Amino acid sequence: MRLLILFSVFAVFVTAFPLLDLIPEFRSTFNQLINSNIFQINLQDNKDRLIKLGPNEFKIVSEIEKLNLKRQNKNFIDLTNQISIEKAIEDGLINKPTTSIWDRFFLIGAKQIKTLKNPIPVYNYPTELSYTKEVKSLFELIDIDLVFKKLTKFSSFFTRYYKSQHGFDSANWLYDQLNKLISEFKEISITKIHHDGWDQFSIIVSIPGELKDKVIVGAHQDSANLILPNIMRAPGADDDGSGTVTTLESLRVLLQAYKDKTFKPYNTLEFHYYSAEEGGLLGSVDVFSRYSAQNETVVGMLQQDMTGYTQGSIDKGIEPHFGLISDYTSIELNEFLKLIINNYNNISYLETQCGYACSDHASALENGYPSSFLIESDFKYTNKFIHSNLDTIDRLDFDHIKEHIKLTIAYAYELSLAKKLY
């Protein structure tokens, strides 16, 4: 009998799903309901995870607790593959877990600020631009119809959830796109970074420069519907399909110049497509931990996560603009970005904050690499439809995506050619 009741409740909820996505106000009540035990059966993997929620805040949680944090818009880095729980206890990052499960829910430890690698080096970024003519001529090559087509396809995967077959399929599609772009250049490499624990790989395209020092452009390829990530649709058009196609098009344009031999990086230029950002920056923290272990130098990492939504600004009577994230980012690299925006873009920026670990740039910073994050607008006007089946392409502004593409091309061009950074 109890089983029957449970089953009926489940059936009602399943029928209610489309309705819920249409009426956002219902969602918080619904989330509370599903956070009660019924739906936890969907999360197979119940191993403990070590997460970092702030500069001083570590915690041991389960997969369902991780999902609940994301549902409450609380961001974190999942460091389980980097630091064992035993080591975290030994280093005083967390208290020793007690036997009571209840106590574990409230376990927050750590007395001192710990990043995986400290301190962050300061580089002398250019204070004036050297290639305005070359860069502006590249803007002519930006093909927004092509960007629209790519995003239509990328957001048509049922979901790009990192633990799903669809998420693996979308990664393979993205890999093929990138591979086609670079196939004629034998010195340019493309690498699948396989991660321990899930199938969706991260992708790195590397255009070697005279130096091994890296200039990095990043976006995350995964999406997630936070109601039930392993069952429900997550087009992820803005988050972060938009950032993915922004950097994909930037790479395509830069490679035209590379082919014409008008552009060859001095610093090594890399384009990164991270897996599992929605799982707590899992892919990017793996990538940057490896770079750190290999003593790689990264002179600047720029993340773009959500580049297409302007309606939130327009609704408030505010002109479309970039959101330059000013917390947990590199002050010096942000200054360089301001120089780029002021000279290359038709829109301006507002400085804004998004909290600890709000996207993959945090993984770079944690590993001792200066990083910045440029988002579609002031954080308070950003897309509210993300993490649901409403994050669709029709809500996006491709003129705005074009500004992000211009910014990416200019950043990559100017910084990869910059010398005497230290």
Ligand X SMILES: *[C@@H]1O[C@H](CO)[C@@H](O)[C@H](O)[C@H]1NC(C)=O
Q: Which of 67, 392, 37 is nearest to 226 (CA)?
A: 67
294 binds, among Zn ion, ligand X, none (CB under 5 to 8 A by kind): ligand X
Buried-exposed string 333-365: b where 16+ CB fall within 10 A, e elsewhere: bbebbebbbeebbebebbebebebbbbbbbbbb
191 binds, among Zn ion, ligand X, none (CB under 5 to 8 A by kind): none
Residue 213 or 239: the one with the smaller Cβ distance to Zn ion is 239
Interaction of residue 72 with ligand X, rule CB under 6 A: no
Nearest approach, Cβ of residue 346 and ligand X (Å): 4
User: If binding means CB under 6 A, how many residues of this protein chain bind ligand X?
Assistant: 3
Nearest approach, Cβ of residue 342 and ligand X (Å): 11
305 binds, among Zn ion, ligand X, none (CB under 5 to 8 A by kind): Zn ion
What is the number of other CB atoms lying within 10 angstroms of the CB of residue 405? 27
Residue 240 or 378: the one with the smaller Cβ distance to Zn ion is 240
Quick one: how far is CA 245 from the chain centroid? 13
What torsion do the CA atoms of 401, 404, 409, 413 make, to the nearest 10 degrees? 180
Nearest approach, Cβ of residue 187 and Zn ion (Å): 32
Structure-token match 């936070």, residue found? 226
| x/- track of binding to Zn ion for residues 293-322 (CB under 5 A) | ------------x-----------------
- Sheet-wide strand order for 77-78: 57-61, 49-54, 77-78
What is the number of other CB atoms lying within 10 angstroms of the CB of residue 20? 19
| x/- track of binding to ligand X for residues 275-304 (CB under 6 A) | -------------------xx---------
Interaction of residue 239 with Zn ion, rule CB under 5 A: yes
346 binds, among Zn ion, ligand X, none (CB under 5 to 8 A by kind): ligand X
295 binds, among ligand X, Zn ion, none (CB under 5 to 8 A by kind): ligand X
Interaction of residue 346 with ligand X, rule CB under 6 A: yes
Structure-token match 């819920």, residue found? 20
Beta-carbon contacts of 76 under 8 Å, excluding residues fewer than 6 positions away, are 51, 52, 53, 59, 66, 69, 280, 281, 356, 357
Nearest approach, Cβ of residue 406 and ligand X (Å): 9
Nearest approach, Cβ of residue 338 and Zn ion (Å): 23
User: If binding means CB under 5 A, how many residues of this protein chain bind Zn ion?
Assistant: 3
For residues 307 and 376, what is the distance between their CA atoms, to the nearest angstrom?
Answer: 4
CB–CB of 34/13 below 8 Å?
A: yes
| x/- track of binding to Zn ion for residues 130-159 (CB under 5 A) | ------------------------------
Interaction of residue 222 with Zn ion, rule CB under 5 A: no
What torsion do the CA atoms of 81, 301, 386, 75 make, to the nearest 10 degrees? 50
Beta strand 214-220 with 298-303 is parallel
Nearest approach, Cβ of residue 72 and ligand X (Å): 38
Largest Cα–Cα separation, the chain: 75
Q: For residue 298, what are the β-bridge partners?
A: 214
Nearest approach, Cβ of residue 243 and Zn ion (Å): 7
36 binds, among ligand X, Zn ion, none (CB under 5 to 8 A by kind): none
Nearest approach, Cβ of residue 104 and ligand X (Å): 36
Interaction of residue 240 with Zn ion, rule CB under 5 A: yes
Interface residue list for Zn ion (CB under 5 A): 239-240, 305
Please report, as ranges, the residues that interact with ligand X according to CB under 6 A: 294-295, 346
